[in-house]
Chain A
Amino acid sequence: MSSDKVKGLAPRLISVPGYHIHPEYDLVHLRHLIETRRSHKNKFTLNLAPMVDMFSVLVIFLLMNFSSSGDAFFVSQNLTLPKATQGKPMVSLPLIAVVGNKVIFNVETEEKTKFEEINDEKVPRLRAWLQKYKTFKKQMSPDAKFEGKINLQADVNTPVEEIKKVMRVLMNEGWTGINFVVDPSKK
């Protein structure tokens, strides 16, 4: 302690204190590492490799389940399909649904596309549509034999009599290739 360092007279030297009291214990490399990390903190980079991995797995999964036929099949609301193990892949055909005591079918007209009729074997609109469709099919391929294939879907709890009524109508109109739409249970 020197005598000239009187409080308030001598200019005060403000210096950054060292890292350690004893410089021989200064961890230079550790300090450098900490400084480097601190400087890199602002350069945030997203590691995209896991993202690409995830996309690859997703693409492979979707490609394996891809249906190239392009057919979209719809099940009517409030309808549980019966399960079956011996079904074959469904093909795109005209579709009739039996829900309760009603028969529902799709016809493209100017006003609407979906029609409902009471399933009483008269079903004039359904019969007219079946005849029209049959004529159209015959006109499209006059040399080929008309197979009369049609898909029929119904709820699992529908009485069989309702199904048989529709079957009789279809048979009368020459549609004998009836396919029952089923839910494939695990084989």
Chain B
Amino acid sequence: MSAGSSEEPNLTPFIDLFSVLVCFLLMTAAWLQLEALQINIDPSNPDAPAQSQEPPPPPPLNQVKLSVKLYADKVVLSENQAEKAFPNSNNQIDRARVSQALLDWRTKFTEQKDIVLNSEKDVKYGSLISMYDILISSKWPDVAINPN
């Protein structure tokens, strides 16, 4: 292009292309970003389906039964018969304290994998999911929900 000439590239095809692309992408865009939490069913539950035809092996004698029970106003962590309650703060689970207790369990019971999540009838679904989320983020990936 010589100096002083006023030739410009024809931008119309670019705009045509971009318009079509923008329309296509706007129509196919996933505006709703959802995720899912895959849950496990408590195997000790009588309604739970059998994983195999063979009976499950008996648990080791020294294995501790860890469970979390949700109430409307508190969370109770049970280690065999010993229980520790964490009252809710502002109608929500005290995430910091419960997480710390679960992390302590993780360091204490390094071999243990399973943990059972029970809940009372008056508990809200949001609290159940919140507790499940806390358990997974506290390095307890194998959480089983008791459906009874």
**Contact B35–A88 (Cβ < 8 Å):** yes
Q: Decide: B124 and A90 in contact? CB cutoff 8 A.
A: no
State the main secondary structure of chain B at its contact with A: mixed
Q: Is A157's CB within 8 Å of the partner chain B? A: yes
Contacts of B34 in A (CB 8 A): 73, 75, 81, 90, 181-184
Interface residues of A in 147-187 (CB under 8 A from B): 151, 154-164, 167-168, 171-172, 174, 176-184
Number of interface residues of A (CB under 8 A): 57
Q: A48, A67, A72: which contacts B15 (Cβ < 8 A)? A: A48
- Least Cβ–Cβ distance between A100 and chain B, in angstroms: 12
By the criterion CB–CB under 8 Å, are B18 and A52 in contact? Answer: yes
- Which of B19, B49, B70, B124 makes the CB contact (< 8 A) with A159? B124
Query: Contact at A86–B122, with CB atoms within 8 Å?
Result: no
Q: 10 closest pairs, A vs B, by CB? A: A87-B35, A55-B18, A156-B126, A62-B25, A67-B30, A179-B36, A82-B129, A48-B11, A86-B136, A84-B133
What are 8 A-B residue pairs whose CB atoms fall within 8 Å in the complex? A55-B19, A62-B25, A73-B34, A84-B133, A90-B34, A156-B129, A161-B121, A182-B37
